[in-house]
C-alpha cells in the first residue's frame, strides 16, 4: 500500500513541477492578451467617435448630439466588463489547474492516514476480543 501511495505522490509532485512553469507562462500571456484587448477596444472606440465627430459638420451654434457619446460610453463600459470577466475566468482557470494536483495529493495523504487509523482500531478491537475469549475459556 505504501508503495502505491509513494508512486501516486511522486506522480502528483512531478505533474505539479511540470505544470507550474506552464501556469506561470499562461498567466503572463493571459495578462498581456487582456491588455491588448483593452487597448484595441479603446482604440476602436476612439476611432469610432473620431469618425462620427469628423463626419458631422462643425458649427459653433449647433451642439453635438449627446446620445451618440452616451451610447458609445455605455458600449465601452460593457466591453470593459466583458474583458474583466475574461480576466477573472483566466485567473480562476489558472488557480484551478494549480490547485487540482495539490488537492489530489492531499486527499490521497488523508485517505492513507485514514486507512492506517482504521487498521489500528480494527487491530485493537481484535486484540480485545481475543483477550475476552481467552478469559472466557479460562473460567
Note whether residue 124 is domain-resident.
Answer: no
Query: What pLDDT was estimated at residue 129?
Result: 94
Angle in degrees, CA 18, 21, 26, rounded to 5: 120
Note whether residue 137 is domain-resident.
Answer: no
How many domains are there within the chain?
Answer: 1
Most confident region among 60-64, 92-96, 117-121 by mean pLDDT: 117-121
Note whether residue 135 is domain-resident.
Answer: no
Note whether residue 139 is domain-resident.
Answer: no
Task: State mean pLDDT over 81-104.
Answer: 77
Note whether residue 22 is domain-resident.
Answer: yes
Domain coverage including residue 23:
2-56+66-103
Note whether residue 33 is domain-resident.
Answer: yes
Q: Read off the pLDDT band of 58 (50, 70, 90).
A: very low
Distance CA 92, CA 100 (A): 12
pTM above 0.75, yes or no: no
Contact 98, 23 (CB under 8 A): yes
Query: What pLDDT was estimated at residue 56?
Result: 45
Query: What pLDDT was estimated at residue 71?
Result: 63
Amino acid at each position: 500500500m505504501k508503495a502505491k501511495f509513494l508512486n501516486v505522490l511522486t506522480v502528483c509532485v512531478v505533474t505539479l513541477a511540470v505544470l507550474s512553469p506552464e501556469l506561470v507562462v499562461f498567466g503572463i500571456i493571459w495578462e498581456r492578451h487582456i491588455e491588448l484587448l483593452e487597448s484595441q477596444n479603446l482604440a476602436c472606440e476612439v476611432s469610432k467617435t473620431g469618425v462620427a465627430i469628423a463626419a458631422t459638420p462643425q458649427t459653433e451654434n449647433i451642439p453635438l448630439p449627446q446620445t451618440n457619446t452616451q451610447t458609445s460610453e455605455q458600449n465601452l463600459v460593457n466591453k470593459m466588463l466583458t474583458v474583466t470577466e475574461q480576466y477573472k475566468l483566466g485567473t480562476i482557470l489558472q488557480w484551478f489547474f494549480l490547485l487540482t494536483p495539490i488537492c489530489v495529493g492531499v486527499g490521497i495523504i488523508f485517505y492513507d492516514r485514514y486507512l492506517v487509523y482504521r487498521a489500528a482500531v480494527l487491530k485493537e478491537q481484535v486484540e480485545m476480543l481475543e483477550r475476552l475469549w481467552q478469559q472466557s475459556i479460562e473460567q
